[in-house]
A and B are shown apart, each in its own frame.
Chain A
Amino acid sequence: MSAESWLWMLAGELRRQGLDPGQVATVVTDARNHLRDSAEDPYQTFGAPERYALAVAESLAGPASRGRPLGPVRLEARGISKRYGRRHVLRDVNLTVRSGQIAAIVGANGSGKTTLLRICAGLLSPDAGTVTVQGRISYSPQEGGTMPFLLPDEHFILVGAGEGLPRDRAKASGRAWAQTLGWDDVGATPARLLSGGTRQKLNLVLSTLAGADLLLLDEPYQGFDRGAYVNLWEQLWRLRDEGAAIVVVTHLLNQLDQVDHVLDLTEVAGG
């Protein structure tokens, strides 16, 4: 049997085990690379596809992961409408996100994604509709949110202080989060001198430091390279599995990004 047909069967078995499409793609890519390097027979090195898929699924399943019941509703937006002048940006939009879910708000530029997120965050009033939030919110804006003259560590300490975290703990957990996003050299560079992508990572770390129940992220991976992008999703999945409710605004959603709910504003904005 050729390696490709073994990999094809593996992908099917992994899906059957309930893996996210992103996880399936990662596992299959790992196996494909390994087989290419080693030139071994897939059955020799990985065994039967269904057995290997089971082993992978067991390794991925955290203590409170797959098959968990969904938690309480964290965000409920009903009948949201917003106009700027005569232009309807949002028309009767509904969004419900529960603890343990990731929702993506997608749509073309100008379709009202950021407006909706700001309304959910309570930063903007809708012309009609209600937003109900249960729990603590953390909002990561597309731009801003960092303080130009402060070092990353000082950001961690400042935000940590708001959560009652001691300085050392805040710094350590900020740095640990930064590392999971592939940002290792959290050094003596003030925020204003960081690259756009790194500043965005800082923003993300700050929004996750707070340990919020509801995370609202506006275009969180702008300026990220592919690796950081994959890492971000792995972290978001982890937070979700730990019970966070997450809303991600994005204009680019590829098959790697496994989310539980997609709200496409392009369709709604048509009228």
Chain B
Amino acid sequence: MLSRDESYGYELAQSLDHAGLGAIQGGTLYPVLLRLQRTGSVTTRWQEGDGGPARKYYRITDSGREALARDGRDWIAFAETVTALMTEGARR
């Protein structure tokens, strides 16, 4: 989702929910974001809100995009294998 546009924590949680992953709790979300930040896959910036508090926006970095492309391919390959096996099982 961050590869499309930068976003802040709560908005990301909502997007994940809308995408069908269910409610991702803050206790799960932020540690993951911290890890991505530590490894340099995302970067953050503070943006003053309109009258509200400053928000921290997360944005994907070039190395984050590379990691996404790489891990994405791995995931798709894995998912295809599992899908093939499951399809076979479900048909019986």
Contacts and interface: CB of A to CB of B under 8 A. Distances in A.
A107 B21 CA distance: 52
Sort chain A's interface into a size bin: 35 or more
Interface stretch (B26-34, B72-80, B81-89): B26-34
B55 A33 contact: yes
Contacts of A34: 9-10, 13, 26, 30
Sort chain B's interface into a size bin: 20 to 34
Nearest to A31: B26
| Residue with the highest number of chain B CB atoms closer than 10 Å, among A26, A40, A45 | A45
A227 B45 contact: yes
A227 B55 CA distance: 10
Query: Chain A contact residues: over half helix, strand or loop, or mixed?
Result: helix
A38 interface: yes
B25 A59 contact: no
Interface stretch (A50-58, A120-128, A196-204, A259-267): A50-58
Given A60-B38, A182-B43, 19 more contacts: A30-B30, A31-B30, A32-B53, A33-B9, A34-B10, A45-B26, A45-B27, A46-B25, A46-B26, A47-B27, A56-B34, A58-B31, A59-B35, A62-B38, A176-B62, A179-B62, A180-B43, A227-B44, A227-B46
Interface of B: 8-10, 13, 25-27, 30-32, 34-35, 37-38, 40, 43-47, 53-56, 61-63
